Amino acid sequence: MLRFIGTAILSISALCALMVGLYEAGLLVLNFKRALLFVGSLRGKGRCRAQFTACHGRIQRVIRFRESRTYRFELKAPLRRGEMEAELLGEGGRSLMRLCAPRDSAQIDVRRGERYVLRFIFRQASGEFELSWNG
C-alpha cells in the first residue's frame, strides 16, 4: 500500500511538472472561464480568435517573441453583449498593454525570448474576437 502511494505521488508530481513545462513553452492554455459555447484557436502564431456565448472568466497563455522589435496588436471583437478585453503582461505580472472590445490597437516593444502572458478577460460576453499581432 505504501509503495502504491509513493508511486501515485511521483506520478502526480511528474504530471504537474509536465503541465508547467508545457504552459511555460506556450503550448498549454489555462482556462478559468465558463461559457455556454466557446469555439476557437488560442495557440496560433500571431493570432488568436474565437466565437463564444455567455462567457465569463479569463483565459491566459504564455507567448515568446522571435525578434526584439515593435509589435502592433489589433483586437477586433464585435460583441452582441457583455465586455471583453485582452491584456499583455510582462515581468512580474506588470500590465504592458490592455485592449478593449469592440475594436482597439496598440504598439509595444518586446524583447526576444522573454516570457509574456497574454490574458483574455470576459464579462458575460457573447460574440467573437480576433487578436492579431505582427512586426
Q: pTM here?
A: 0.84
49-65 pLDDT, tens per residue?
999 999 999 999 999 88
Least confident range from 3-7, 50-54, 124-128: namely 3-7
Measuring CA to CA, which residue among 76, 81, 79, 66 is closest to residue 116? 66
Exposed/middle/buried for residue 35 (C-beta within 10 Å: 0-12, 13-18, 19+)? middle
**Domains, in order of start, for the chain:** 29-134 (2.60.120.380)
